[in-house]
Amino acid sequence: MTGPQDQPPTTATGGITDPALATDRVVAAFGGIRPMAQKLGTPVTTVQGWKKRGHIPEPRHPAILAAAGEHKIDLDAATLAATAAEGSTGTTGADAGAAGRGARVGPEAEPPRRPSPAAKPPQVAARAGGSRVPGLALGLAAIALIGTVSAPFWTAPLYRVLGLPLPVPTGGVAVVDDAGIAAVRDRLNAIERRLGDLAADAERGADDNLLARIDTAEARLAAVEQIATPALADRLLAIDGALDALASDLARLDGVVGNQRVGLSEARTALTGLESDVEELATALGSLADAQARDSLRIDRLVASDSAAQAFVLAIGQLRAAVDTGRPYDQTLAALRGLSAGDPDTATDLSALVTMSGFGIPTRERLKAEFPAMAAAARE
């Protein structure tokens, strides 16, 4: 059955005063944690931290209202304003203490029922989602302190149940009156308030520190991305340009090497043809040398027989053989000029051969010796 204590805290005008409930309403109005983060342009962890702590910092309110207006979201400004206060669900230690003091009317009044103070820190920790270690330590300390302070109330019933005699203090008989009970209750209420404040401060400080570290890390990551991305893009463009230039150079070198291979093949073909021509020329020179030797013998015979005409013809043949073989023909030319002394035309023709008569035309050996230089010139 739902009673007045189950309704969310509100003001006289009906507005929500519980920060945690107001935060849930604001996040739900945006459609959840992730949609709200997208509409505000903030990290999801930031909105998640707001919902976890039940608190939205007041400097964020203008941006939230602007985003709600931009996306046509029906958001109550009073509900958003209620999220600025740091709050907690449930009854705090101070409220419990006040309730206890208000319920005690007189000395004979029954002690009011209140929740176990040991259960307070775990309840706050479950709502805030902070570290469990501080809450556990505070809870154990509270249990020990409560047991020590409240010992006069439960030791006597325990001894009676166990059938043991009550211990008598050294200083006399312990007397517990209403004033002592009230003092113990006040001390317990103060301890509860202190434990609740310590747990809330520890959890709030841990959450704020974690969110601050997350925001710092996100800002540093964004700065690194802004710096590194353009530099990396420029380096990649430079590398692409260098690779294109290298590919162009390789293609050009391939063309040059191909042309050189073609030229070398042509030079080898030409060299082979020149070698064949030299061999043929050497063979022809050998044949001419043999013919010249035979003509010389015939000339000698004709001269010895005083046959001038035959001697002239033989001398002409010998001169031809000397010219073809590259041997000096100065003596043969002198004999012909002597035989043609009476013929001016023949003497004029023979005078053109005087210049080379002392060393003759190039022989086969000379052609072979000069062939490498000729081949090198042909390759160039």
pLDDT of residue 26: 93
Structure tokens belonging to residue 309: 């005409």
Residue 318 included in any domain: yes
**110: pLDDT strictly greater than 90:** no
pLDDT band of 68, cuts 50, 70, 90: very high
Average pLDDT, the chain: 73
β-partners of residue 16 are 10
Domain carrying residue 42? 7-82
In 104-175, which residue ranges form alpha helices assigned H by DSSP?
120-128, 132-149, 151-162
Going by pLDDT thresholds of 50, 70 and 90, the confidence category of residue 64 is: very high
How far is residue 51's CA from residue 19's CA, in Å, rounded to a whole number? 10
pLDDT digits (tens, 9 = 90+) for 199-209: 777 666 666 67
Considering the domain architecture, whether residues 220 and 277 belong to the same structural domain is answered as no
Task: Please check the confidence at residue 371 and state whether its pLDDT lies above 70.
Answer: yes
User: If you count them, how many residues does the chain have?
Assistant: 380
Question: Does the pLDDT value for residue 86 go beyond 50?
Answer: yes
Residue 51 has pLDDT above 50, yes or no: yes
Question: Does residue 48 contact residue 76 with C-beta atoms inside 8 Å?
Answer: no
Same domain, 205 and 278: no
Query: What is residue 63's predicted lDDT score, i.e. its pLDDT?
Result: 92
Same domain, 184 and 287: no
pLDDT score at 173: 45
196, 136: one domain: yes
Q: Which residue has the higher pLDDT, 56 or 196?
A: 56
Give the C-alpha separation, 80 to 26, whole Å.
7
| 213, part of any domain | yes
Q: Is residue 71 part of a domain?
A: yes
78 and 46 together in one domain: yes
In a domain, 297, yes or no: yes
The domain total for the chain is 3
Residues 49 and 72 in one domain: yes
User: Does the pLDDT value for residue 229 go beyond 80?
Assistant: no
* Averaged pLDDT for residues 245-256: 87
Please give the single-letter amino acid code of residue 315. A
Dist CA 35 CA 53 (whole Å):
19
Whether residue 87 lies inside any domain: the answer is no
- The whole-number pLDDT of residue 15 equals 62
> What three-state secondary structure class fits 16?
strand
Q: Is the pLDDT at 242 greater than 80, yes or no?
A: yes
Radius of gyration of the chain (CA): 63
**155 Cβ contact partners less than 8 Å away, ≥ 6 residues apart:** 166
- For residues 261-288, give the mean pLDDT: 82
Statement to judge: residues 212 and 124 lie in one domain: yes
Whole-number pLDDT of residue 40? 92
Q: What 3-state DSSP class applies to 10? A: strand
Q: Which of 108 and 279 is assigned the larger pLDDT?
A: 279
The answer to whether the beta carbons of residues 292 and 321 sit under 8 Å apart is: yes
Higher pLDDT pick, 254 / 147? 254
- Band of pLDDT at residue 105, cut at 50, 70 and 90: very low
Q: Give me the helix-helix angle, 120-128 and 178-304, nearest 10°.
A: 30
Give the residue with greater pLDDT, 31 vs 5.
Answer: 31
Q: CB atoms < 10 A from the CB of 207, how many?
A: 18
Contact 9, 18 (CB under 8 A): yes
Contact (CB, 8 A) for 285 and 324: yes
- Same domain for 97 and 210? yes
Are 328 and 359 in contact, with CB atoms under 8 Å apart?
Answer: yes
CA 244 to chain centre: 22
Residue 123 has pLDDT above 70, yes or no: no
Q: What is the mean pLDDT of residues 268-289?
A: 81
Asked whether residue 196 is domain-assigned, the answer is yes
Structure tokens given for 135: 């809450």
| pLDDT score of 113 | 44
Based on DSSP, count helices (H) and strands (E) in the chain, helices before strands.
14, 0
Query: What average pLDDT does range 67-76 have in this prediction?
Result: 91
| pLDDT tens-digit readout, 18-40 | 899 999 999 999 999 999 999 99
Residues 251, 7: Cα–Cα separation, whole Å: 84
Q: What angle do CA 140, 146, 151 make, to 5 degrees?
A: 130
Query: 73 near 58, Cβ under 8 Å?
Result: no
Residue 11 sits in a domain of what CATH number? 1.10.260.40
**How far is it, in rounded angstroms, from Cα 188 to Cα 340?**
163
Q: What is the pLDDT of residues 283-336, one digit of tens each?
A: 877 777 777 777 777 666 555 555 677 778 888 888 888 877 778 888 888 888
| Percent of the chain whose predicted confidence (pLDDT) is above 90 | 14
